[in-house]
Structure 1
């Protein structure tokens, strides 16, 4: 055998060993791999909380619905909704008045609309994102599946006052994801 043939064979063997070692490390689940998989999943299927808005003609009681009226006025000032006032009528023998308005969403609100049916619109109130600064817990069940507990930060939207926050005193939630390993795609969140 000549020297160039030996060096070619040696080069091929080194390449095969290197490829074999590098493919083994892809199977290992690290915090970086887990965070990347969860982030890709959240980009594909975002986590959020919602509230339902009634559009069109709405009647509010000025005293009883004052908090809701102020919330809608703030959204109008920020340019997310428009409302036209039709009339303000005093209820007979009552301290409260009825305010008749028409509500419409603006183009600025499109980024927060999840669903729209007739005169009802579902909007995002809180969006969740992975908090990469907080530690995550990895519970490997075997080489092809794992359970990951990660902290998601709350990001309130302009429509947040319209929704009900399940944990208003905390700026994050913990969420558990199941990851599965496949030879073709690597580690992915199991749906």
Structure 2
């Protein structure tokens, strides 16, 4: 039979070990940023817009900016433009052009969806700003919320984004939920 003294000592030692390991999992800034960076790699954050392709008609006056955007994409190698028709309106300074717009392989990383006449493209991509810091709020024993700064970067398709007068920032703040998994440690859940 084991003396009571040894039982008490083993229980006390187990209690100290339990307290030393921490019954509440705490998360550091470095761990939170690392997990969020890993999550963003497989779940990128971006803004999108629709862009037409195929046979498109442009008015010289009203579609001048749009035609310029397509010409920039052609110079960068994302599309090819082939003028099919040009028609001058009678007694008008306006002309109408019909172009055949084709996407090249260089556009593949930016195309998210494609239909017969339109594609959805990435206009802005967001990257984690690790220098911006992180604000962590522990919401439970195994849960936390981390707010980080994401820096906004234009893609070559940014001309197709809708102009939003309220969006004057070059960054955004985003909050991610994290959960502690006993096997894998802290993970982003969304």
**Conservation of the 8 A alpha-carbon contact between 1:138 and 1:148:** yes
Residue in 2 aligned with 1:67? 65
Question: What is the alpha-carbon distance in structure 1 between the residues aligned to residue 53 and residue 25 of structure 2?
Answer: 51
CA 1:59–1:138: 2 relative to 1, 3 Å: same
| Runs of 5+ unmatched residues, structure 2 | 1-16
Moved over 6 A (4+): 19-23
**Conservation of the 8 A alpha-carbon contact between 1:146 and 1:178:** yes
CA 1:22–1:171: 2 relative to 1, 3 Å: farther
TM-score of the two chains, using structure 2 as the length reference? 0.83
Q: Give the CA RMSD over aligned residues.
A: 2.4
- 1:118 is displaced (CA, Å) by 1.9
Residue in 1 aligned with 2:14? none
| Runs of 5+ unmatched residues, structure 1 | 1-18
> Does residue 173 of the first structure (1) align with residue 175 of the second (2)?
no
TM-score of the two chains, using structure 1 as the length reference? 0.82
Question: What is the alpha-carbon distance in structure 2 between the residues aligned to residue 45 and residue 124 of structure 1?
Answer: 14
- 1:169 is displaced (CA, Å) by 2.9
> Does residue 47 of the first structure (1) align with residue 45 of the second (2)?
yes
**Conservation of the 8 A alpha-carbon contact between 1:130 and 1:152:** yes
Greater displacement, 139-148 / 76-85: 139-148
CA 1:76–1:23: 2 relative to 1, 3 Å: farther
- 1:168 is displaced (CA, Å) by 4.8
CA 1:109–1:26: 2 relative to 1, 3 Å: farther
- 1:26 is displaced (CA, Å) by 10
Residue in 1 aligned with 2:36? 38
1:9-42 CA-partner distances (Å, limit 9, x unpaired): xxxxxxxxxx989965993211111111111111
- 1:132 is displaced (CA, Å) by 0.5
Question: What is the alpha-carbon distance in structure 1 between the residues aligned to residue 88 and residue 171 of structure 2?
Answer: 44
Question: What is the alpha-carbon distance in structure 2 between the residues aligned to residue 36 and residue 25 of structure 1?
Answer: 23
